[in-house]
Amino acid sequence: MNNNLVWINVCEASADNYGAMLMQELKKRSPGVEITGMGGPAMRALGLQPVFRSEDLSLMGLTEVVTSLPRIMGYLRHIKKRMQEKPPGIVVLLDAPDFNFRLARMAHSLDIPVLYFIPPQVWAWRKSRVRFLKKYVDRIACIFPFEPAFFRKNGIKADFVGHPAMEKLTLPALEKISFRQNQIALLPGSRKKEISSLLPLFSKSANILRQTHPDLTVNVVQAPGVSMEFLRRFCPQDPWFRFVSSEDRHACIKECSMALAASGTVTLECAILEVPAIVAYKLSWLSYQLGSMLIHVKYISMPNLILGRQIFPELIQDQANVDKLVSTARVWLENPDQTVRIRKDLKKIKTLLGYKSAGRACAELTLELMQKATSHEIN
C-alpha cells in the first residue's frame, strides 16, 4: 500500500468541482501527496493522474446504468488491476453509488480504507444500501447536518464536514449581485441525457413566456463538463437566448429573478444564491417506475427536503411539460412579491448548512484514515 497515494473517484461534473476542492486541501496539508483515480477537467487541472475521465461515465437512472454495463465492467476490471499493481493508501468516493459501490467492495477486498464523501442519500431512498455502507465503508463525510445521526444510528461512523457549495457560493463578490426581474436562467443539468430531455422543454417554455414579457433575457447556463455546442442543439438561435459559460454560471444565476432547473445539485446552488427555481425531473419510464417504489421522502429537491416543505415547485415525469412550466413561471413573473417571500425563506438554508470548509474537513479525515490504516487502528 502506498501511503502517499490517494485514489479519488468522481463520476459526475458537479462532483468534479468538489473533488478539486478536496485535492487543493490535501496538497496544502501533505505537499508530496499523489492523487489518482477518476475525475473531470477541474481535478485534472490540479494534477490528478487520471485512470479514466469522469465525463466518459455520466449516467442517469437505473435503466441507463444497465445499458452501459459492458463499458462499466470494463472500467472496473481495469481499475482493479491498477489498484492491485499500485494500492493507494485510501480510496475516497464522491457520490455516484451505482459505480462507486463496486469500488468500495473492491478496495475492501484489498484492505484499502474507504472514505465516502457525499454519500448516497439512503435516508431518502434505497435504505437497503445502509447494510452495504456499514460493511464496506470505513467513514462517511456528510454534507448535510442531519445525516450523521442517521448513519450513526445504523452503526456507521459519520461526520458532518459542511456542504462544498457553501464555499463557492457565499463569496463577497456574489453577495453583492442584485437580481433583475427581466432575467431568467435555464439550468438543464450536467448529464447529456437530462439536457436532451429537459432543455427543449425549458427553451420552448421561455419563448412562450417572452411573448407576454418581451424584455425577458433567457440565460442558458453551461454546467462544468458540458460543451456549449451540445447545449446549442436544444435551443433556438433567437438573440434573447444568452449562453453563459460554466465559469460565469454562479454570477449569472444570482442575477436572475428565477430559474428552470433540472433536479440535482444546481437546485441547492439556486437556494444558496437565493434564486427561486422550478424543478423538473424526467427519466425513462422504467427508471421512474423502479425509483418510485424505492423513494421514502416527500420531495426530490434538496431545498424542499432541508426546509421540510415545498418551497420550489417540483414537476416530475409527465408533469414536466411546457404547459406546467409556463403556467408556474408566469405566476412568479407576474407576482414578484411571491418570489420575494421565497428569497427570504431561502436565507434559512445557508444557516442550516453552516459555513464549514468541506474541502478542509474532508482532507483532514482522509489523512487521518490513511494514518490509522498505516498503524492498523482503523477499526
- Model confidence over 104-137: pLDDT tens digits? 999 999 999 999 999 998 887 778 899 999 999 9
Cα→Cα distances 248→174, 191, 221, 244, 337, Å: 11, 19, 9, 6, 27
CA distance 106 to 224: 29
Q: What is the dihedral of CA 118, 349, 124, 356, to 10 degrees?
A: 30
Q: Is 132 exposed, middle or buried (0-12, 13-18, 19+ CB in 10 A)?
A: middle
Q: Is residue 297 part of a domain?
A: yes
Q: Is residue 178 part of a domain?
A: yes
CA distance 51 to 70: 18
Place of cell 440565460: 219
Q: Is residue 379 part of a domain?
A: no
Residues 17 and 156 in one domain: yes
Residues 199 and 347 in one domain: yes
For the segment 215-236, the average pLDDT, to the nearest whole number, is 94
CB-facing half-sphere around the CA of 296: CA atoms within 13 A: 8
DSSP assignment string, 43-95: HHHTT-EEEEEGGGG---SHHHHHHTHHHHHHHHHHHHHHHHHS-EEEEEEES
Residue 70 in grid coordinates: 459492458
CA distance 190 to 55: 10
Q: Could you read off the pLDDT of 130-183 as tens digits, one per residue?
A: 999 999 999 999 999 889 999 999 999 999 999 999 988 988 899 999 999 999
Q: Is residue 345 part of a domain?
A: yes
Q: Could you read off the pLDDT of 209-224 as tens digits, one per residue?
A: 999 999 999 999 999 8
Residues 310 and 362 in one domain: no
Q: Could you read off the pLDDT of 272-310 as tens digits, one per residue?
A: 999 999 999 987 656 655 556 556 668 889 999 999 899
Confidence of residue 71 (pLDDT cuts 50, 70, 90): confident
Residues 281 and 340 in one domain: yes
pTM value > 0.75: yes
Sign of the Cα pseudo-torsion (227, 233, 235, 237, in order): positive
Contact 269, 254 (CB under 8 A): no
Which residues span the domain enclosing 278? 169-353
Q: Is residue 30 part of a domain?
A: yes
Give how many domains the chain has, as a whole number. Answer: 2
What is the CATH number for 25? 3.40.50.2000
CA distance 16 to 37: 12
